[in-house]
Amino acid sequence: MKINSYRYAGIEKVHVTGLSVPNSAEQIRRFAYLEERLMFLLAAHHVSVAHRDLKMLLGRLQYEDATHSDALRKRLNELRVPKGRMKSSPDKALTLLMNEAEHSENVPELLTAVADVLKPALVQAYENYLQACNPLADSPTVRILQQILVEEKEHLRLLRLAWEDLVKDAAERAATSLWLEKIRAFLKAAGGVNGLSPEKAELQPIRSQQSYRIPRQLSRDHALKRVWDYEAPPQDDVGRHAAYLMGLRMSEVNVSEGLAIVLFEVKDKPWEFYADISRHLWDEVRHSLFGEAAIEATCGSRDAVPMRDYEGVYCMEAETMEQYATLGLEVEGANMKYPVGKRGEWEFFRERARHPLMTTFQDFDWADEVLHVHIARRRLENWFVGSPEELARFAEAGKKHRSEIKKRGKGRALPDLLSQLQKIHERSAVSA
């Protein structure tokens, strides 16, 4: 029967029987679980991957996978699925699959597991679901999956670009074939993403007999120069102070890695805890990219200002609750104070450095930091056992620990970018 294109609110295939609510819910539960586990996997390897550009990409992808899982979880609540049921794995075979994938030992194996097996399988499962469901009956799910598919296909495109860039050696590529077959075998044993394949089987763990642990060490390539710390120039030294603030932003990758450790290693928290930490992690990656983009736009090269290491060493050494309390309450909380603070940094680039791009970046950095303080207060209230006064003392002790690590090395003077800033101002005046 031919239907006018705008009948049924423009929705087609309204006469197909489609999937029942229980069948839909079971598949969506598996989708949500896999997206959640991809968040954890990518966050963990955000720390262990040395290549900066891939490290940054993983920081973005882990957050977008978290938003996918979050949307699917909310849909499950609408499909008569009790919230408590979502705390457990829908299938121990899926759990084994993701446990094994977490143990990818290098970049080629990681990209193989994620870009050759897990994400293509998810994309195919989403497309199969859209073909099988009644899009009128299940319209909310259709809309969610259509939006997720856009991002998942973009993830695949970007990960395949990373593969082509980073895995060029023929022997290295060949060596990943065995890992590819193992991950595919674990997926097959789970009955595929939707669990409907008749070839389900029970397999034993290979690498995941022990839980994956994030290596507590800084992993860096040579894309950026590195120093232990910076000398902090006064605002009157405009060129060096601009370099200082850009360098601080670029160095926030250290904080993102600390948050990845919090996200991955802290167990048995409500989903909302992990969703918040995932967002905070991506924001710190964005801030690091703010600094990188501003340095590159100002100097023509992203390595014109070095990145500092000491805060990353602190994040590798500190206990998870300590570093999170220190970050959220002592560091970011202190950034709310004015004069200076985040508002002062924004004003510096707007009024003194007159750097339009960095002014925009600082404006959004300021907004993000306000959000992070609220997140930290909310999450620590349910995580820390003790009074608000005890929590404040705990965070203050963490800040002292951070300062002790800082004293292990000396600050380095940064380049004077005054001439570059003047050129930017002149170009801005001409374009205006």
Distance separating alpha carbons of residues 262 and 100, to the nearest angstrom: 21
Distance separating alpha carbons of residues 271 and 277, to the nearest angstrom: 10
Residues 162-173 have pLDDT tens digits of 999 999 888 888
One domain for residues 123 and 38: yes
CB 108 within 8 A of CB 116: no
**Is there a domain that residue 206 lies in?**
no
One domain for residues 313 and 397: yes
Distance separating alpha carbons of residues 276 and 36, to the nearest angstrom: 13
- Among 168, 189, 210, give the residue marking a domain's end: 189
Give the CATH number of the domain where residue 32 resides: 1.20.1260.10
**Is there a domain that residue 194 lies in?**
no
Of 263, 37, 35, nearest to 144 (Cα)? 35
CB 329 within 8 A of CB 376: yes
One domain for residues 157 and 243: no
One domain for residues 233 and 175: no
- The pLDDT assigned to 363 comes to 98
**Is there a domain that residue 279 lies in?**
yes
Structural domain for 421, as ranges: 226-431
DSSP-assigned states of every residue in 265-279 = H--S--HHHHHHHHH
Give the CATH number of the domain where residue 337 resides: 1.20.1260
One domain for residues 237 and 320: yes
- Among 189, 206, 234, give the residue marking a domain's end: 189
One domain for residues 169 and 22: yes
One domain for residues 367 and 423: yes
**Is there a domain that residue 11 lies in?**
no
- The pLDDT assigned to 200 comes to 83
One domain for residues 357 and 299: yes
Residues 348-388 have pLDDT tens digits of 999 999 999 999 999 999 999 999 999 999 999 999 999 99
- The pLDDT assigned to 334 comes to 92
Number of domains in the chain: 2
One domain for residues 145 and 34: yes
**Is there a domain that residue 61 lies in?**
yes
One domain for residues 276 and 368: yes
**Is there a domain that residue 217 lies in?**
no
CB 404 within 8 A of CB 293: no
**Is there a domain that residue 32 lies in?**
yes
Print pLDDT tens along the chain (432 aa): 666 789 999 999 999 999 999 999 999 999 999 999 999 999 999 999 999 999 999 999 999 999 999 999 999 999 999 988 888 899 999 999 999 999 999 999 999 999 999 999 999 999 999 999 999 999 999 999 999 999 999 999 999 999 999 998 888 888 899 999 999 999 999 999 999 887 788 999 999 999 999 999 999 999 999 999 999 999 999 999 999 999 999 999 999 999 999 999 999 999 999 999 999 999 999 999 999 999 999 999 999 999 999 999 999 999 999 999 999 999 999 999 998 999 999 999 999 999 999 999 999 999 999 999 999 999 999 999 999 999 999 999 999 999 999 999 999 999 999 999 999 988 888 876
**Is there a domain that residue 237 lies in?**
yes
One domain for residues 173 and 234: no
One domain for residues 180 and 241: no
- Among 162, 189, 216, give the residue marking a domain's end: 189
Distance separating alpha carbons of residues 247 and 304, to the nearest angstrom: 10
